């Protein structure tokens, strides 16, 4: 098996002007604990890798992407959410724009006991969605690509994205945490359950909603 350094270098060279293929659920790389980034590649290659991840995320399109999702088991994730949704939905979901950033070796812990449940999906499992009850607010720590440490509190949908992507780096996919009875194809979700808050779905499908 090639090293993280070799994998990053190969992807950067192969997809210098494009996007990398996203691996799907069932690929073992999504189930292993990613190794910490500790300088496996130099700053210039790291910057190119982060930009490749950003292009891949935006093309998918998605609001986050973890390195294992393009086959590299290293603790790097990119996040960005334009949150171009109706104001009513934004308020119900506490979903507001999240400026792009790359998180290296991220971690999080709950901030308080409040939890909220919403439908979410994953680029590595297209075509399906399910409700995940997550912490409403989290304290996150991470390093940016220039080596500066960050300590930040995220709330609402931004906290959801942080949890989702950081979980990927621990070998955890959102299906591990979802409410099983909530699982739906994206087409059935759009046709039946696309409400600002999944209260009606929880009652009809009989699943727990925080």
Q: What token pair was written down for 177?
A: 């945490």
Residue 181 CB burial class (10 angstroms; 0-12, 13-18, ≥19): middle
Element (H, E) at 99: strand 98-110
pLDDT in tens, 3-22: 999 999 999 999 998 999 99
Hey, what domains does the chain have and what are their CATH numbers?
4-205 (3.90.45.10)
Residue 95 pLDDT > 80, yes or no?
yes
Q: Which residues are designated catalytic?
A: 165
Residues with Cβ within 8 Å of 198's Cβ and at least 6 positions away in sequence, in order, are 117, 118, 119, 131, 182, 209
Render pLDDT for 125-184 as a digit per residue (tens, 0 to 9): 999 999 999 999 999 999 999 999 999 999 999 999 999 999 999 999 999 999 999 999
Residue with tokens 């949890």: 163
Cβ burial of 61 (10 Å; 0-12, 13-18, 19+) is exposed
What is the structure's pLDDT at 152? 98
pLDDT of residue 168: 98
Q: Which token pair is 205?
A: 């499908």
Nearest Cα to Cα of residue 77 among 40, 56, 105, 44: 105
Q: pLDDT band at residue 2, thresholds of 50, 70 and 90? A: confident
Q: What is the overall mean pLDDT for the chain? A: 97
Mean pLDDT on 97-101: 98
Task: Tell me which residue of 10, 50, 14 sits closest to 145, measured CA to CA.
Answer: 50
Q: Which residue has the higher pLDDT, 81 or 2?
A: 81
Tell me the C-alpha distance between 78 and 141, whole Å: 14
Residue 70 pLDDT: 98
Contact 37, 47 (CB under 8 A): no
Reply yes or no on whether the pLDDT at 103 is more than 80. Answer: yes
Over range 75-88, report the average pLDDT.
96
Is the pLDDT at 1 greater than 80? The verdict is no
How far apart (Å, rounded) are the C-alpha atoms in residues 196 and 93?
Answer: 7
């Amino acid at each position: 098996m090639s090293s993280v350094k070799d994998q990053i270098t190969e992807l950067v060279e192969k997809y210098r002007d494009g996007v990398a293929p996203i691996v799907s659920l069932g690929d073992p790389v999504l189930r292993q604990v990613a190794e910490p980034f500790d300088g496996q590649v130099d700053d210039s290659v790291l910057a190119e890798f982060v930009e490749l991840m950003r292009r891949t995320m935006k093309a998918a399109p998605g609001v986050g992407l973890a390195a294992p999702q393009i086959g590299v088991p290293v603790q790097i994730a990119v996040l960005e959410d334009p949150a171009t949704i109706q104001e009513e939905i934004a308020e119900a979901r506490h979903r507001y724009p999240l400026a792009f950033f790359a998180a290296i070796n991220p971690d999080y812990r709950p901030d308080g006991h409040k939890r909220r449940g919403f439908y979410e999906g994953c680029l590595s499992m297209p075509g399906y969605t399910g409700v995940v009850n997550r912490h409403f607010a989290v304290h996150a720590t991470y390093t940016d690509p220039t080596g500066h440490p960050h300590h930040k509190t995220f709330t609402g949908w931004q906290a959801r994205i942080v949890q989702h992507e950081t979980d990927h780096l621990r070998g955890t996919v959102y299906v591990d945490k979802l409410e099983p009875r909530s699982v739906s194809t994206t087409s059935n979700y759009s046709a039946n359950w696309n409400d600002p808050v999944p209260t009606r779905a929880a009652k009809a499908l009989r699943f727990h909603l925080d």
